[in-house]
């Protein structure tokens, strides 16, 4: 059930497109999509070569990471890092840390690296819990927002800054790093004013495509991830996709077309289910990239984040026996960084478990992935199977670029703009209004009216 | 925008059912469902009173927790707890710990309680990372599986047991606690044989309804949660629901009917989005309860787990501007255990942030919840709004019972059995087959055939 991996160590399989005749239907749909796909490929290529707004992610693998490595070296001089950011300014960090750093519980970074705390949600309980752990230590404050206007991020950045300043009895802007737009925005003015450290998110790169900018790279590098290998993986994937002739030799185009086929065929959800804890937040990162890019103009499938084998005990009942309304992508890992061999089961009360004697835990996890895939196929559900030779910086960089490319192409095929997010503005205006910000009084009124509608029918317990 | 909370401190609002005329359509649909709802209520009541298989959760609030408290006291004598379990034997624990214990990063339990490690996924990297942290300390091993047959749990239980035994140089069964069926199964035989400690999951309670059995209660209690208040909250919610006259006065029946209305109306997803980090895994726990209970016979909506405000920067673009295919439930919290007041913004470069001066972070988070709800209503999406007076053991117990009841009633209204999970058996048999377990050879062959189908169309990178 396996084949040799290529240079990138990733194989993609698309042979189960739902039911008996599904695959040939998918193939003929891909044939019809041919010209649109060719147009989408050219669209990305041409705009990326001009570094047009939104397309900057395509060129990130070529950027010299010296400034990132220097900032990371500086960060390693601290005991703790408070990273303030949300959405695209947080998920990439979580994803890289989990995938590339050899610890799980956020409490003991390897090799004396700083402790890392992500202040993403503006929940006062979380923010205060972070401060409880950080106070009294030498702490660096990293603020990430392209616009410098994100209320959740700016409010927490200001609060941590004031707590740090109160503790030190003076300015702590020398302990701050802001990652933001090179020219505009509040964070940029702040950096200019305070002379604090700063790094740039290129103007042509949107938040959810920013993991390979300083936004995702700096803290990962500070904690020990090999970001050169990460960028090399992204570059190698880009080269591979650029040279793959035809849709059937190009897994990104194949996957984009597969998404379109299933969305149009009445499957409104796409499940990403890696079988490795280290990729748990990769699915979360993908969910943001996907949902915010393709969810517009009444189109777009909903990303569903899952984790194997855990969700076999939670979601697989629904996946195999509920409605046939999802495309499933399972990611398996061929060689795991650790393996565990079980000893012989000798207690007589455990005799029925003797099939576990001498078995390997990681091998079992791979069998579970195959079993779930097979059960889904048996139930007529469409399955895409991705197999990684191993999880390392090069492979993760390749996967990041792969999914960014798939997302951009799918958006173009749908006829929407995969680089904007007009649908989040309304909620932001309402919040400004409710916060009493000047100029948003009308929004506060409108928010109140819509909210009252919900409240019309209520029960108090 | 607020009303007085009642005895349980929870209010439920259903006034926005999607679009202009949505709410009156929902109300007339509820009218038509009247007799089916009455039948479903009777069905739960009658079967619960007989403690029929599957219905045991209804009676759990009445169980005397003395045995749980005794085991928790014993656990508090250890430095570390390794809890081995998956699905229903893990998610309830995560949920209770996050909601009720005052720490976030899994590294410093309050008041000298033991460190807690959950070995849920059989990923060798995770299991080994746990052992790295536990070895050398006085560790208790808690194994949870109703059947005692769950491969992921039994394999890890055996591995940790062997590591602990190798370290101590003798039997460590005195440091083990198994939580399992009172009569049948491998864990029960093991407990009888080794005389290790054991507690019971009542035979009438299924895994995903087991959070109020020792399965969820013991470790939460050991780490400091008030499980008596938790059980009291569940009992109070049960009494409230039993005495609420008519669907419109009974939020559980109203929500079940709302789910049915939207599933039949072409909305295949249900989003649960609490605005509080402490409820993040509550949405995860709900996703298992819901997906595995209602996802069968081609029916059932897909649970989508979200967290506010984080997912405003990830999923809300899709929620407001993508397809109208989801029911949204937002949970807000009126009084948060911590609040943060921002100081005055004085830097001139930060002038545009002056609207944050003196504002409270938790209040802002509540405004964000209202804003998202209002933006969804404006976009014609159906929204259910739940507001908790506060998050404490009593409220969480009430919410647990509430969602268990909603799930059971919804299943009955759909005409399926909300207490079984036949769809997970196929994958288990395939795994046994691939592992070489006696008697599953035919399954291994079948798994291979289905898996080969996926592999037929492949690209290697």
Distance from CA of A443 to the nearest CA of B (A): 10
Of the residues A152, A280, A292, A404, only one is catalytic, namely A292
pLDDT tens for each residue of A334-384: 999 999 999 998 899 999 999 999 999 999 999 999 999 999 999 999 999
Cβ contact B148:B113 at 8 Å: no
Mean pLDDT of chain A: 95
What span, in angstroms and rounded, lies between the C-alpha atoms of A292 and A209? 11
One domain, residues B235 and B215:
no
* Cβ neighbours of B336 (radius 10 Å): 21
Return the closest-CA partner of residue A285 out of A89, A11, A54, A84: A89
pLDDT tens for each residue of A54-111: 999 999 999 999 999 999 999 999 999 999 999 999 999 999 999 998 765 555 455 6
Q: What is the pLDDT, as a whole number, of residue B1?
A: 37
Residue of A nearest to B276 (CA): A123
What span, in angstroms and rounded, lies between the C-alpha atoms of A384 and A30? 15
Give the domain range for residue A121.
Answer: 59-225
pLDDT tens for each residue of A415-457: 999 999 999 999 999 999 999 999 999 999 999 999 999 999 9
Q: Tokens for B334?
A: 């009126």
Q: Contact B323/A299, CB-based, under 8 Å?
A: yes
What span, in angstroms and rounded, lies between the C-alpha atoms of A119 and B178? 37
Distance from CA of A399 to the nearest CA of B (A): 11
Q: Contact B313/A375, CB-based, under 8 Å?
A: no
Cβ contact B149:B113 at 8 Å: no
Q: What's the whole-number mean pLDDT along residues B318-325?
A: 98
One domain, residues B248 and B105:
no
What span, in angstroms and rounded, lies between the C-alpha atoms of A298 and B323? 4
- Structural domain ending residue among the three candidates A182, A205, A225: A225
* B292 included as an active-site residue: yes
* Cβ neighbours of A66 (radius 10 Å): 8
Return the closest-CA partner of residue B335 out of B268, B401, B398, B392: B392
- CB-based burial, B143-177: b 16+ in 10 Å, e otherwise: bbbbbbbbbbbbbbbbbbbebbeeeeeeebbebbb
Label residue A133 by pLDDT band (50, 70, 90). confident
Cβ contact B104:B177 at 8 Å: no
Cβ contact B272:B336 at 8 Å: no
Chain B residues in contact with A156 (beta carbon < 8 A): 361
Q: Which CA distances in Å does B54 have to B203, B288, B418?
A: 8, 16, 8
* B313 included as an active-site residue: yes
Name A243's Cβ contacts closer than 8 Å, sequence gap at least 6. none
Q: Contact B15/A456, CB-based, under 8 Å?
A: yes
One domain, residues B116 and B128:
yes
Strand pairing report for B10-17 and B382-388: antiparallel
Query: Does residue B126 lie within any of the structural domains?
Result: yes
Strands (E), A159-241: 176-180, 197-200
Q: What is the pLDDT, as a whole number, of residue A2?
A: 43
Cβ contact B219:B97 at 8 Å: yes
Query: Does residue A50 lie within any of the structural domains?
Result: no
Helix axes B91-100 and B214-222, enclosed angle (nearest 10): 40
One domain, residues A234 and A155:
no
One domain, residues B36 and B84:
no
Name A4's Cβ contacts closer than 8 Å, sequence gap at least 6. B460
Q: What is the pLDDT, as a whole number, of residue B133?
A: 87
CATH number at residue A303: 3.40.50.10490
Name A24's Cβ contacts closer than 8 Å, sequence gap at least 6. none
Q: What is the pLDDT, as a whole number, of residue B345?
A: 87
Chain B residues in contact with A155 (beta carbon < 8 A): 342, 356, 359, 361, 364
Q: Tokens for B40?
A: 């479903």
Distance from CA of B380 to the nearest CA of A (A): 10
One domain, residues B214 and B224:
yes
Label residue B28 by pLDDT band (50, 70, 90). very high
User: Cα-flanking dihedrals φ and ψ of residue B417, to 5°?
Assistant: -90, 110
Q: Which CA distances in Å does B250 have to A9, A263, B7, B295?
A: 56, 37, 14, 24
Chain A residues in contact with B314 (beta carbon < 8 A): 87, 91, 287-288, 291-292
Q: Contact B87/A360, CB-based, under 8 Å?
A: no
Return the closest-CA partner of residue B216 out of B330, B98, B50, B387: B98
Select the residue of B237, B292, B435 nearest A359 (Cβ to Cβ): B435
Query: Does residue B460 lie within any of the structural domains?
Result: no
Q: Contact B313/A86, CB-based, under 8 Å?
A: yes
One domain, residues A63 and A142:
yes
Label residue B360 by pLDDT band (50, 70, 90). very high
Chain A residues in contact with B300 (beta carbon < 8 A): 318, 322-323
What span, in angstroms and rounded, lies between the C-alpha atoms of A456 and A444? 18
pLDDT tens for each residue of B44-74: 999 999 999 999 999 999 999 999 999 999 9
A286 by DSSP, 3-state: which?
Answer: helix
What span, in angstroms and rounded, lies between the C-alpha atoms of A128 and A134? 10
Structure-token match 């190798």, residue found: B166
Cβ contact B362:A123 at 8 Å: yes
Chain B residues in contact with A308 (beta carbon < 8 A): 121
Q: What is the pLDDT, as a whole number, of residue B109?
A: 53
What span, in angstroms and rounded, lies between the C-alpha atoms of B214 and B206? 13
A–B: how many Cβ contacts below 8 A?
572
Distance from CA of A36 to the nearest CA of B (A): 21
Query: Does residue B3 lie within any of the structural domains?
Result: no
Distance from CA of A385 to the nearest CA of B (A): 7
One domain, residues B26 and B137:
no
Query: Does residue B434 lie within any of the structural domains?
Result: no
Query: Does residue A420 lie within any of the structural domains?
Result: no
pLDDT tens for each residue of B205-251: 999 999 999 999 999 999 999 999 999 999 999 999 999 988 999 99
Query: Does residue A325 lie within any of the structural domains?
Result: yes
Q: Which CA distances in Å does B31 have to A223, B34, B373?
A: 59, 5, 26
- Structural domain ending residue among the three candidates B414, B431, B447: B414
- Structural domain ending residue among the three candidates B228, B259, B276: B228
Q: Which CA distances in Å does A29 have to A8, A12, A183, A247?
A: 28, 19, 45, 12
Select the residue of B321, B384, B398 nearest A295 (Cβ to Cβ): B321
One domain, residues A24 and A102:
no
Q: What is the pLDDT, as a whole number, of residue B367?
A: 98
Residue of A nearest to B351 (CA): A186
Of the residues A313, A351, A452, A455, only one is catalytic, namely A313
One domain, residues A236 and A286:
yes
Query: Does residue A170 lie within any of the structural domains?
Result: yes
User: Best residue in B160, B255, B314 to probe A by mutation, most A CBs within 10 Å?
Assistant: B314
Judge whether residue B108 has pLDDT over 80: no
Chain A residues in contact with B424 (beta carbon < 8 A): 312-313, 316-317, 320
Mean pLDDT of chain B: 95
What span, in angstroms and rounded, lies between the C-alpha atoms of B229 and B212? 12
Beta bridge pairs of residue A387: A11, A332
So what's the ipTM on this one? Answer: 0.97
Judge whether residue B414 has pLDDT over 80: yes
Q: What percentage of chain A exceeds 90 in pLDDT?
A: 93
Q: What's the whole-number mean pLDDT along residues A30-49?
A: 97
Q: Structurally, how many domains does chain A consist of?
A: 2
Of the residues B280, B292, B387, B404, only one is catalytic, namely B292
What span, in angstroms and rounded, lies between the C-alpha atoms of A206 and A54? 6
Return the closest-CA partner of residue B407 out of B309, B286, B304: B286
Chain B residues in contact with A84 (beta carbon < 8 A): none
Judge whether residue A22 has pLDDT over 50: yes
Return the closest-CA partner of residue A325 out of A18, A28, A15, A13: A18
One domain, residues B242 and B123:
no
Of the residues B183, B195, B313, B456, only one is catalytic, namely B313
What span, in angstroms and rounded, lies between the C-alpha atoms of A419 and A74? 33
Q: Contact A121/B447, CB-based, under 8 Å?
A: no
What span, in angstroms and rounded, lies between the C-alpha atoms of B232 and B243? 16
Q: Contact A349/B11, CB-based, under 8 Å?
A: no
Judge whether residue B2 has pLDDT over 50: no
Question: With helix as H, strand as E and coil as C, how does chain B read?
Answer: CCCCCCCCCEEEEEEEECCCCHHHHHHHHHHHHHHHHHHHHHHHHHHHHCCCCCCHHHHHHHCCCHHHHHHHHHHCCCCEEEEECCHHHCHHHHHHHHHHCCCCCCCCCHHHCCEEEEECCCCHHHHHHHHHHHCCCCEEEEEECCCCCCHHHHHHHHHHHHHHHHHHCCCCHHHEEEEECCCCCHHHHHHHHHCCEEEECCCCCCHHHCCCCHHHHHHHHHCCCCHHHHHHHHHHHHHHHHHCCCHHHCHHHHHHHHHHHHHHCCCCEEEEEECCHHHHHHHHHHHHHHHHHHCCCCCCCEEEECCCCHHHHCCHHHHHHCCCCEEEEEEEECCCCCCCECCCCCCHHHHHHHHHCCCEHHHHHHHHHHHHHHHHHHCCCEEEEEEECCCCHHHHHHHHHHHHHHHHHHHHHHCCCCCCCHHHHHHHHHHHHHCCCCCCHHHHHHHHHHHHHHHCCEEEC
Q: What's the whole-number mean pLDDT along residues B390-395?
A: 98
One domain, residues A175 and A238:
no
Select the residue of A124, A155, A338 nearest B125 (Cβ to Cβ): A338
Of the residues A25, A126, A228, A428, only one is catalytic, namely A428
Q: What's the whole-number mean pLDDT along residues A6-11?
A: 93
Judge whether residue B447 has pLDDT over 60: yes
């Amino acid at each position: 059930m396996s084949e040799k991996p290529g240079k990138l160590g990733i194989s993609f399989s698309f042979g189960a497109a739902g039911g008996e005749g599904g695959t040939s239907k998918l193939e003929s749909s891909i044939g019809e999509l041919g010209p649109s796909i060719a147009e989408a490929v050219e669209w990305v290529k041409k705009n990326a070569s001009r570094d047009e707004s939104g397309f900057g992610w395509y060129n990130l693998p070529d950027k010299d990471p010296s400034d990132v490595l220097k900032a990371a070296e500086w960060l390693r001089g601290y005991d703790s890092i408070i990273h303030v950011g949300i959405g695209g300014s947080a998920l990439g960090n979580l994803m890289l840390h989990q995938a590339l750093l050899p610890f799980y519980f956020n409490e003991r970074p390897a090799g004396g690296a700083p402790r890392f705390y992500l202040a993403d949600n503006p929940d006062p309980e979380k923010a205060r819990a972070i401060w409880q752990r950080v106070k009294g230590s030498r702490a660096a404050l990293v603020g990430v927002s392209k616009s410098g206007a994100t209320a959740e991020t700016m409010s927490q950045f200001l609060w941590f800054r004031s707590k740090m300043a109160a503790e030190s009895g003076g300015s702590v802007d020398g302990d701050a790093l802001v990652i933001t737009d090179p020219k505009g925005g509040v964070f940029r003015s702040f950096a200019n004013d305070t002379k604090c450290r700063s790094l740039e998110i290129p103007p042509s790169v949107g938040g959810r495509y920013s993991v390979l900018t300083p936004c995702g790279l700096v803290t990962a590098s500070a904690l020990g991830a090999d970001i050169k290998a990460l960028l090399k993986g992204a570059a190698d994937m880009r080269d591979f996709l650029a040279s793959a002739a035809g849709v059937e030799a190009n897994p990104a185009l194949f996957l984009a077309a597969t998404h379109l086929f299933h969305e149009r065929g009445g499957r409104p959800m796409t499940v990403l289910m890696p079988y490795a804890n280290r990729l748990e937040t990769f699915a979360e990162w993908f969910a943001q990239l996907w949902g915010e890019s393709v969810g517009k103009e009444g189109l777009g499938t909903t990303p569903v984040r899952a984790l194997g084998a855990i969700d076999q005990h939670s979601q697989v009942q629904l996946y195999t026996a509920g409605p046939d309304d999802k495309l499933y992508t399972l990611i398996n890992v061929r060689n795991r960084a650790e393996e565990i061999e079980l000893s012989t089961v000798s207690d007589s009360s455990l005799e029925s478990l003797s099939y576990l004697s001498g078995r390997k835990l990681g091998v079992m996890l791979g069998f579970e992935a195959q079993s779930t895939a097979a059960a889904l196929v048996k139930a007529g559900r469409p399955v895409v199977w991705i197999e990684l030779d191993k999880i390392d910086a090069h492979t993760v960089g390749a996967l990041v670029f792969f999914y960014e490319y798939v997302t951009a192409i799918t958006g173009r095929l749908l006829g929407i703009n995969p680089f904007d997010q007009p649908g989040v503005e309304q909620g932001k205006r309402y919040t400004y209004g409710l916060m009493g910000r000047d100029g948003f009084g009308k929004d506060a009124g409108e928010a109140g009216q819509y909210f009252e509608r919900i409240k019309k029918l209520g029960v108090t317990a």
